[in-house]
Amino acid sequence: MIDLDAIRAAQRLIAPVAVRTPVEESRWLSGILGGPVLLKAENLQRAGSFKIRGAYVRMARLSADERRAGVVAASAGNHAQGVALAAQLLGIPAVVYMPRGASIPKEQATRGYGAEVRIAGATIDEALTHAEAYAAETGATLVHPFDHPDIVAGQGTLGLELLEQCPEVATVVVPIGGGGLAAGVAHAIRAVRPDVRVVGVQAAAAAAYPASLRSGAPVPLDRMATIADGIAVARPGALPFAHVQAEVERVVTVTEDQIAHAVLQLMERAKLVVEPAGAVTVAALLAEPEAFTTPAVAVLSGGNIDPLLMMNVIRHGLAASGRYLSARVRIPDRTGGLAGLLAELARCEVNVHEVAHDRTTRHGLGEVDVALQLETRGPEHARSVIAALREHYLVLDHDGAEEPEGT
């Protein structure tokens, strides 16, 4: 277990390197929660996430011999960039193992900082196995993404910084993957302000902590599938788990729809580009606003989002918000049939993005299925469009006319 002195020492060490990221009030979220809500914009940190804090502390404390032997790490992207940047600043050779399917921009950024990137394994945990083998073979120092005292202390500097910026805070909401950030932040905050509640958030599709906390020890997941790749860790670290178990009030989970909705809302309402892993805190606030005492601070842990994923998340978020409506409608297969459908959509005042005839499915003679992609003004408008279509046509299925949880 780390202590407050370790975090304060780490804070002094990273002062010339890490950015003191802003804490800004969100009037949009404050209105929903009925009290002040602030955003800790760690997505604006160097290398795009909080990871430089822990990586630099760990690597700055290496001996001269250890620095010459180099370092090795495993990461889906944010830790990779943090290690690569710290290695560049400290003049240390670095090898980073990234899982297959890792974000291409994150991989390119890691290479751009001068690290050697090797693709291995399907998950962070499998990539970590390769990194551990490389360390054993070469003598390089393994810079673990979350399970090391220096890493946890480095991430804890965010907690001290947050208290300085928002001394009146009552609740701090933090993303959790392996647990290094949550552990460090929780210890820093609880050591200085034991009255402050710390809440962790995981993606429901990659949530190892709830079962582990129930069991009293880290329990690995059999599978994970989430857009929040930055917190997709199958097994909590032993050291972070001990801190989370002792100092985090509770760990909640959010769905993929809620995460996508939060990414979109942060972009639209807060003008911030935040990756899915960093947006889970806002997703939790939106899903259950009455569960968080204000003033509350949501930590936005990173902003490294693949542009292609961003396009998909925006589209998914629009659908989850009832503003992007997909529907399949059966219409008469005759002259003017499609024109009649489009005229009905015009009366509904929707913007038609795509129209596609589907003649491969089984249906009655003289009928054809039409797939529609529509832009609406929101959930109520989307539901009215479906109701209007049902008055004239058979609506086979639709997606995007339901209001997401917590909005």
Catalytic positions, written as ranges: 51, 301
The single-letter code of the amino acid at 107 is E
Of 206, 215, 226, 147, which is closest to residue 182 (Cα–Cα)?
147
Cβ(11)–Cβ(160) under 8 Å?
A: yes
Look-up: residue for tokens 């902003």?
Answer: 303
DSSP characters over 232-297: --SS--HHHHHHHHHH-SEEEEE-HHHHHHHHHHHHHHS-----HHHHHHHHHHHH-GGGSPSSEE
Closest by CA position to 302, among listed 53, 86, 125, 90: 53
Q: Is the dihedral of CA 216, 218, 223, 228 positive or negative?
A: positive
Q: The tokens of 305 are what?
A: 């989002």
* Residue 57 phi, psi dihedral angles, 5° rounding: -60, -45
For residues 141 and 135, the answer to whether their CB atoms sit within 8 Å is yes
| Strand partners for 397 | 328
Q: Which helix (H) or strand (E) holds 157?
A: helix 149-165
